[in-house]
Amino acid sequence: MKIFALLLVVIATANCAELRCTYKTLDFVRPYYECDGRVTTSASDFEVSTVQGDHEEGKGMNDIIGVVIRDCSLEKMPRKLGVWFRNFREFGLFDIQNFPNFQRVDFSEYRQLRVFRAKNLRQVTRVPKDTFFDLTALEELYLDNMVNMENLDGDLLMNLRGLRVFSAQGPNKIKQISRGFFDNQSRTLSEINFQRTNLKRITYTIFNLRDLTSANFVGAGCLDKWYQTPNMPETLFDDIRNKCQDTTNTRALTRANYIVMNESSSSESSSD
């Protein structure tokens, strides 16, 4: 494959971040052009001021759809990627050992994202509930191999009404799926992945997902199965109810049934 050298643009400043890209065309579900890169910085400013790399022949910056940053020291989300890659809409952070917990501000300039992937960020322990509130166009969210990530807030996906794929593949420290977690994805979500987690409790009513076709719970604590269509929703619902019952919800239902039964008995006694 013929390659031509990308003109290197260097901005001489004391506080800048340099992105070194390996450009490549990937062909998974759909072909797209990607920068697979590493960021280096001389200070605390993570604004990308320099980009290096050799493009494939016939390709340029405006052809970049995906940006992946991996295997580097990164304490903050890099900024100004959109200045260089005006059409990118898929972003990934892989194998970055010193990246701290996410914040909503990390994504404030990346509202165009359709896909976000985080993998093996060992220092991330929690994901604040408003982290992805501004990513209303997001269709796929992956929080995989986050070994110290704890239970996810029930409102984390609140604004992601077009989400089709959600993955929190372990190992991690997730032990429950909160009530209401998928409330706003009932008509869109088709795939979920909690493989290799340590689930102990799931509120079964959260899985009122009409278009769900794949739910991977292999090695996931109270469940150990990959549920796929046909008859997947019914089987998943029954297994969650029997194996991962939310005991708090069960007590509430039992108490409610007890009250209803007593009221019914009282009414019958009064009529007699």
The predicted-structure confidence for 227-243, as pLDDT tens digits, reads as follows 998 878 788 888 988 99
Using the 3D structure, point to which of 99, 126, 145 is the last residue of a domain. 99
Q: Are residues 45 and 121 in the same domain?
A: no
Using the 3D structure, point to which of 78, 99, 120 is the last residue of a domain. 99
Is 237 domain-assigned? Answer: yes
Task: Tell me the residue range of the domain where 172 lies.
Answer: 112-265
Is 107 domain-assigned? Answer: no
Helices (H) and strands (E) in the chain, counts: 3, 15
Using the 3D structure, point to which of 65, 99, 133 is the last residue of a domain. 99
Is 139 domain-assigned? Answer: yes
Tell whether pTM > 0.75: yes
Q: Are residues 87 and 131 in the same domain?
A: no
Question: How far is the first Cα of the chain from the last one, in angstroms, to the nearest whole number?
Answer: 91
**Using CA of residue 139, residue 144, residue 150, residue 151, what is the dihedral sign?**
positive
Beta strands in 28-134 (DSSP E): 31-41, 48-52, 54-56, 64-70, 90-94, 115-119
Q: What digits encode the pLDDT tens for the residues 117-171? A: 999 999 999 999 999 999 999 999 999 999 999 999 999 999 999 999 999 999 9
What CA–CA distance (Å, rounded) separates 225 from 160?
26
Tokens 């469940």 sit on residue:
223
> Confidence band (pLDDT; 50, 70, 90) for 204?
low
Q: What's the confidence (pLDDT) of residue 268?
A: 47
Give the mean pLDDT of 13-36: 83
Q: Are residues 132 and 249 in the same domain?
A: yes
Structural domain count, the chain? 2
Is 181 domain-assigned? Answer: yes
Q: How many other C-beta atoms are found inside a 10 Å radius of the C-beta of residue 186?
A: 15
Closest CA to 197 of 213, 220, 177: 220
Q: Are residues 159 and 243 in the same domain?
A: yes
Q: What digits encode the pLDDT tens for the residues 94-121? A: 999 889 889 999 999 999 999 999 999 9
> Confidence band (pLDDT; 50, 70, 90) for 43?
low
What CA–CA distance (Å, rounded) separates 189 from 206?
12
Buried b (16+ CB within 10 A) or exposed e, 201-233: bbbbebbebeebeebbbebbbbbeeebeeeebb
